[in-house]
Amino acid sequence: MSFDVEKVRADFPILHQEINGKPLVYLDNGATTQKPEAVIEAISHYYRYDNSNVHRGAHTLSDRSTAAFESARETVRQFLNAQFSEEVIWTKGTTEGINLVAFSWGLSNLKPGDQVLVSEMEHHANIVPWQMVCEKTGAQLQAIPVTEDGDVDLEKYRAMLSDAVKFVSIGHVSNALGTVNPVREIISAAHEIGALTLVDGAQAVAHWAVDVQELDCDFYAFSGHKLYGPTGIGVLYGKRALLNDMTPFMGGGEMIETVSFAKTTYNKLPYKFEPGTPNIAGAIGLATAMNYLNTFDRDDVVAHENDVLGYALKRASEYEGLRLVGRAKHRAGVLSFLIDGTHPHDVGTLLDQQGVAVRTGNHCAMPIMEHYGVPGTVRASFAMYNSRADVDALFAALDKVKMFLL
């Protein structure tokens, strides 16, 4: 393996600082990842030299912005191995992508008696939009049960599939448990009964190369900021034929062909779903993040991340008083746990005092917290720039937390 974590860390300026007098150990990558110098520089360069609105100006800067913006779309197409660049819709993140599908597809296609399936371990972003659309259409939202280990119960899922099921929306990786879901299997079973599928890829895209054609998902949503890119930019991939059949989610400039008070006609894909001035710098920043990731052999990244997470899991299993929440065998990026006799928030605050950044709480996944009967957890989440040394720092800091709290 030719992965040099120290060299990677050197690319991320923010990591090299002290927090509360201690070297920063950033383990909150599930919430957002840090940005490499190349991304920071690309955004700064864009605003310094090229800034202009896209698709409309009759001048050089606008041409440059448009070219960079559309070239970023092509980078995303390649990154996901989508067939057509118009299948790449810019959004502001995973949340907007899921809302777009739920409201655009769902409002026009769901009716009383229909069912939408999501799993019990979904992020609220993959529950609430469906719930809202089900309330409006009379369809029903059903939760696919999760096993004690934190896997989707495939047997129960198959039993739930019937003619009533019109849509299955599933997380690729759970942000609360770290479970990697067998999305390919879930998608093909859904397709067998004629249901459409969306994969919430927020926690997956940074970890390994996702191929939407291989998955055969109908939609795939993710956020740039969890992929070493900027906040406020994300992508919804959708199969062209489906997107063509869908009505716009939001109206405004750019998404139209002609407007009159009698009738408005819509623009072609992908612009039909991109009203208003887009996040141009964000798109350029995200494409730069993808290009940065592509400078590595993605298999080396996977091997390195698996090594760090495997080490963290081993240390967790040996750590007295630590209770892991979620024990799925196939997992990525996340260690969710509780320390007996302590509250997650207190643990998080005391870890921060030692320079260790984690997230505590319900991780926007209240139903799965309820499933485990816990108010929340401490979540350490890893990225490509984390190392075994960060895991050691976490457990050394936990020793001190225990001394203080217990």
Q: How far apart are CA 363 and CA 153, in angstroms?
A: 21
123 near ligand PMP, judged by CB under 6 A? yes
383 near ligand PMP, judged by CB under 6 A? no
DSSP notation for 148-216? TTS-B-HHHHHHH--TTEEEEEEESB-TTT-BBP-HHHHHHHHHHTT-EEEEE-TTTTTTS---HHHHT
Instruction: Identify the residue whose tokens are 């963290």.
Output: 312
Stretch that binds ligand PMP, among 88-96, 263-271, 326-334, 345-353 (CB under 6 A): 88-96
Q: How far apart are CA 198 and CA 84, in angstroms?
A: 18
Q: Clarify whether 364 is annotated catalytic.
A: yes
Nearer to ligand PMP, 126 or 386 (CB): 126
Whether residue 275 has a cis bond before it, omega within 30° of 0: no
Residue 403: CB minimum distance to ligand PMP, A:
32
| Neighbour tally for 388: CB within 10 Å | 14
Total number of residues that touch ligand PMP (CB under 6 A): 13
DSSP notation for 97-123? HHHHHIIIIIHHH--TT-EEEEETT--
Nearer to ligand PMP, 171 or 230 (CB): 171
Stretch that binds ligand PMP, among 198-206, 332-340, 368-376, 391-399 (CB under 6 A): 198-206
94 near ligand PMP, judged by CB under 6 A? yes
Q: CB under 8 Å to 251, separation ≥6 — which residues?
A: 264, 275
31, 364, 366, 374: which is the annotated catalytic residue? 364
Binding-residue pattern over the window 221 to 260 for ligand PMP, x denoting contact by CB under 6 A = --x-------------------------------------
Nearer to ligand PMP, 285 or 401 (CB): 285
Helix (H) or strand (E) holding 243: helix 240-245
Binding-residue pattern over the window 175 to 194 for ligand PMP, x denoting contact by CB under 6 A = x-------------------
Catalytic site residues?
364
Residues that bind ligand PMP (CB under 6 A): 93-95, 123, 125-126, 171, 175, 200, 202-203, 223, 364
